[in-house]
Amino acid sequence: MRIVPGIVLAVTAVVLTACSGSSSGPSQGSASSSTDPGSTTAPVTTQPAQQDCKAGYLAQFTLRQKLAQLLTVGVTGADDAENVVRTEQIGGIFIGGWTDRALLANQQITEVTKASRTPLMVTIDEEGGRVSRLGALIGTVPSAREIVASGISPEQYYQDSLVRARKMKALGITVDFAPDVDVSSQPDDSVIGDRSYSNDPDVVVEYADAQIRALQDAGIGAVMKHFPGHGSGSGDSHTGAVRTPPLAQLQEKDLVPYRALVGSGAAVMVGHLDVPGLTTPNVPASISPEVMDLLRKGTGYGAAPFDGVIFTDDLGGMAAITSRMSIEDAVEAALVAGADNALWITTDAVSSVLDRLVSAVEAGRLPGSQVDASVLRMAKFKGTAPQC
Q: List active site positions.
A: 238, 313
Catalogue the E-assigned strands of 62-168: 71-75, 92-95, 121-124
Q: Could you tell me which residues come within 8 angstroms of residue 201 by beta carbon, excluding any fewer than 6 positions away?
A: 183, 253, 254, 256, 257
3-state secondary structure of 131: strand
Tell how strand 32-33 and strand 45-46 pair up.
Answer: antiparallel
Residues pairing with 222 in the sheet: 176
